[in-house]
Amino acid sequence: MATTSDDLLNHMKEYHKSFQTVLNYGLKSRELRYKEDAIKTVHKLRLESCIDEVRVLSIGSGKGDVDLHFINALVYKYTAIHYTVVEPATGPLDEFKRLIESNQERWRGVKFSFHVQGINEYLEGGGTSDKYDVILACHSFYCFRNAGNTLRYLYDMLSKDGMLLIRVDTDGGWLKYLNYRNKFQLSRKHISGVEAKKLTYLQFPHGSIEILRNTNVVTVTKCFDKDSKNGNRMLDFFTEVFNFRNARPPDEVEECLRYFRDECCYVKADEILIDVVEEDIIIWKNGHT
């Protein structure tokens, strides 16, 4: 049986280095749509009950480079915003604080609060009684413990005109690999973004649900070079296993790499590529979109 030390999420520093490497090898292009989509989504917010300030909760912000698009869209429309961040990794939060400093003038109407903890710890510590107009969970759903209950708590924490946005991977080669990976003895099963979608339709039949879809491409050629530092970092992220090449039995590594390359990736101009399809699942509590 694998130990929990296999789980990349238990090695926060390495997790963030691996994530950064995947961004550098192509995933960063996803941000091209973020600005426009954040503007469109915030434009649709109708916070009748919003009196003095808009309350936002961001779960798993990392260093804030995704949040920045939402914050910019919010400050354009609202004068006072309370932006609460729940993120367990301190290194990325320090970078988020530097980002805030560099936007001091533009974000002068925003008050930030940081909770250095996981979402379930925040909820168990009394967070469920907090109210928010906007809740953002961009690629952090996979870290939720008891995803169904957590989604329900978050939905109940929304104000009556509020919006919950869950950004997850729902298709493409990477998801295919993660589903396959669940057949091995690992300390944590991957909860797929498809599960987030299923739970959403099941649990919130009265909310109105909007889906925004986007395909991103990552160049993973280096993952197949056992001596490449960046390749091994990316492999850890894609497999969600810390030090994948050495931590897992050699025959499993070989089988997984073969499946990853032959069934999940494709070749273009001598590079090996993988598709990462992400969707924003947006739930509007009062039913309008």
Instruction: Provide the sign of the torsion angle of the four alpha carbons 175, 177, 182, 187, taken in this order.
Output: negative
Q: In angstroms, give the least distance from the CB of 103 to ligand SAM.
A: 17
Sole residue written with tokens 């005109």 = 161
The answer to whether the CB of 218 falls within 8 A of the CB of 273 is yes
- Tell me the number of residues near ligand SAM by CB under 6 A: 18
Which alpha helices (DSSP H) does 182-278 contain, by range?
A: 193-203, 229-239, 244-247, 250-259
Binding of ligand SAM by 59 (CB under 6 A): yes
Binding window for ligand SAM (CB under 6 A); candidates: 86-94, 157-165, 218-226, 263-271: 86-94
Within its chain, how far is the Cα of 166 from the centroid?
8
Smallest distance from ligand SAM to CB 151, Å: 13
Among 42, 71, 85, 89, binds ligand SAM (CB under 6 A): 89
> Minimum CB separation from ligand SAM for residue 167, in Å?
6
Q: Could you tell me which stretch among 137-145, 156-164, 183-191, 280-288 binds ligand SAM (CB under 6 A)?
A: 137-145
Q: Quick check: 234 binds ligand SAM (CB under 6 A)?
A: no
Closest among 220, 218, 235 to 278, alpha carbons compared: 218
139 belongs to the binding site for ligand SAM (CB under 6 A): yes
Residues 110 and 192: their CA atoms lie apart, in Å, by 33
Strand-strand pairing, 208-219 and 158-171: unpaired
The contact pattern for ligand SAM, residues 263-282, with x = CB under 6 A and - = no contact, is --------------------
61 binds ligand SAM, rule: CB under 6 A: yes
Q: Does 218 bind ligand SAM (CB under 6 A)?
A: no
- What whole-number distance in Å separates Cα of residue 12 and Cα of residue 92? 10
- Which residues are bridge partners to 111 per DSSP? 82
Nearer to ligand SAM, 143 or 163 (CB): 143
Within residues 95-134, the interface with ligand SAM by CB under 6 A covers: 118-119
Q: Which residue has 């993952």 as its token pair?
A: 223
Cβ 134 vs Cβ 54: under 8 Å? yes
* Chain residues that interact with ligand SAM, rule: CB under 6 A: 9, 19, 59-62, 66, 86-89, 92, 118-119, 138-140, 143
